[in-house]
């Protein structure tokens, strides 16, 4: 009976913590859904896309943002948000020009386990590398990169007449790495992300003083710093963490296949504690529409692209050198194995006396070889 109250308290805390996280995740997704549904044909994990596909510029002004920020999440469809764990929620959107699909993660604190939450906070106080992350939204947009015909299904012929497939756009753009980062996160991002280690950091007068640019070229920076994006970053303020346009992996590649360009856009921002998402939703919308700007404008002068490609080729050369070394080591191992198998096969058919003579001859050969090596070194 003495243990029962503690169990009851633990269950109550767990229930309230999970309920709190679930409610907060649903609140954000309810606010983000009008924007997503205006941009994408399919939002969530269902299989029924909208009848009317996305049309760029269909909604103008702040009316959509203001309406979305007031939604509570009570009527959110079940297939929009998936609960991966008690502190991590996921969503998905697809069916849009210039964007293959978007992954959305809602990462919250572990309120259902206060002891674990306190321990992580204390450890983060003493160890910078293990510092607890704030409650945040992480979004990744994957580009078609000119491969629309591979992914987009042509129109289905009608019953009365054959309808022509709608023309598919070209979303390809040049390879580069660009990021706007909160200066408080800049050091951690450069250490944790391989792609950002290939950039240089520079303040930009167009951005707030607390934000900085990580880019491979000044021309890339000028092309991507649009007025709408700058305004959205300024409005998000301290909630903003980073916006990264990249074609390189997050983790340092170990093989040439891992280093192949895969174009993506990453966005991360903190969740407002007061659940007022009016400050971050414009940033979310600008992030989605950035794919259109890239497809239309991200093509640079030959000297800029040459410099960027040279960086990629230098990194690929390092990987190729490592791969060649490993291949040579593997080849030598195989040769040694074949020699050993051949030696064992020969000795297996010998008598004891023949084996003794063979081993003596082998030892003498090794001794002469070692002596020759010592003479050459001398």
Q: How far apart are CA 126 and CA 104, in angstroms?
A: 31
DSSP state of 132: P
What pLDDT, on a 0 to 100 scale, did the predictor assign at position 130? 66
* Type and span of the H or E element at 268: strand 264-270
3-state secondary structure of 134: coil
- CB of 254 within 8 A of CB of 41? no
Nearest to 265, CA basis, from 245, 251, 291: 245
Q: What is the pTM of this model?
A: 0.81
Nearest to 217, CA basis, from 232, 200, 203: 200
DSSP state of 215: E
Q: How far apart are CA 50 and CA 95, in angstroms?
A: 9
What pLDDT, on a 0 to 100 scale, did the predictor assign at position 128? 63
Q: Supply 95's token pair.
A: 């069916």
Q: State how far the alpha carbon of 233 is from the alpha carbons of 22, 129, 165, 211, in Å.
A: 27, 26, 39, 9
Handedness of CA 307, 311, 317, 320 (dihedral sign): negative
Which of the four pLDDT bands, split at 50, 70 and 90, describes residue 51?
Answer: low
* 315-350 tens-digit pLDDT: 889 888 888 888 888 888 888 888 888 888 878 878
The residues pairing with 91 across neighbouring beta strands, listed in sequence order, are 104
What pLDDT, on a 0 to 100 scale, did the predictor assign at position 264? 95
- CB of 102 within 8 A of CB of 92? yes
Which of the four pLDDT bands, split at 50, 70 and 90, describes residue 254?
Answer: confident
Which of the four pLDDT bands, split at 50, 70 and 90, describes residue 258?
Answer: confident
Please compute the mean of the pLDDT values over residues 55-61 and round it to a whole number: 45
Go through 26-60 and write b for each residue having 16 or more CB atoms within 10 A of its CB, e for each that does not: bbbbbbbbbbbbbbbbbbbeeeeeeeeebeeeeee
Please compute the mean of the pLDDT values over residues 63-81 and round it to a whole number: 74
3-state secondary structure of 270: strand
Which range, of 118-127, 220-229, 328-337, 354-363, averages the lowest pLDDT? 118-127
- Report the percent of the chain where pLDDT is more than 90: 47
Q: Supply 50's token pair.
A: 């909208």
Q: How far apart are CA 80 and CA 46, in angstroms?
A: 8
Three-state SS string across 175-205, please? CCCEEEEEHHHHHHHHHHCCHHHHCEEECCC
3-state secondary structure of 209: coil
What pLDDT, on a 0 to 100 scale, did the predictor assign at position 354? 79
* 174-202 tens-digit pLDDT: 999 999 999 998 989 999 999 999 999 99
């Amino acid at each position: 009976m003495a243990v029962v109250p503690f169990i009851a308290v633990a269950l109550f805390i767990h229930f309230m913590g999970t309920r709190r996280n679930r409610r907060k995740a649903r609140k954000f997704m309810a606010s983000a859904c009008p924007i997503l549904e205006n941009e994408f044909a399919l939002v969530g994990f269902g299989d029924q896309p909208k009848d009317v596909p996305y049309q760029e510029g269909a909604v103008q002004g702040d009316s959509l943002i203001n309406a979305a920020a007031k939604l509570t999440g009570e009527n959110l469809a079940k297939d929009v948000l998936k609960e991966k764990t008690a502190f991590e929620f996921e969503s998905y959107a697809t069916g849009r020009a210039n964007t293959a699909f978007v992954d959305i993660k809602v990462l919250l604190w572990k309120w259902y386990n206060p002891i674990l939450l306190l321990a992580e906070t204390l450890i983060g106080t003493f160890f910078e590398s293990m510092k607890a992350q704030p409650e945040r939204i992480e979004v990744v947009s994957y580009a078609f990169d000119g491969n629309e015909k591979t992914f987009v299904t042509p129109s289905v012929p009608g019953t009365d007449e054959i309808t022509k497939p709608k023309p598919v756009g070209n979303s390809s753009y040049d390879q580069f790495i660009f990021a706007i980062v909160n200066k408080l996160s800049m050091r951690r991002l450069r250490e944790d992300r391989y792609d950002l280690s290939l950039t240089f950091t520079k303040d930009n007068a167009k951005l707030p003083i607390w934000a900085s640019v990580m880019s491979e070229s000044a021309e890339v920076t000028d092309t991507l710093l649009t007025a709408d994006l700058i305004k959205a970053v300024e409005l998000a303020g301290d909630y903003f963490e980073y916006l990264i346009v990249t074609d390189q992996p997050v983790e340092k590649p170990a093989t040439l296949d891992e280093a192949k360009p895969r174009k993506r856009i990453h966005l991360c921002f903190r969740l407002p504690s007061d659940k007022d998402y009016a400050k971050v939703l414009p940033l979310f919308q600008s992030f989605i529409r950035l794919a259109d700007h890239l497809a239309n404008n991200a093509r640079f002068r030959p000297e800029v692209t040459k410099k960027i490609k040279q960086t990629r080729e230098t990194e690929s050369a390092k990987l190729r050198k490592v791969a060649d070394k490993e291949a040579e080591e593997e080849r030598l191992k195989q040769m040694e194995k074949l020699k050993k198998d051949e030696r064992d096969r020969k000795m297996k058919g010998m008598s004891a006396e023949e084996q003794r003579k063979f081993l003596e001859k082998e030892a003498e050969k090794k001794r002469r070889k070692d002596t020759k090596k010592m003479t050459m070194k001398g």
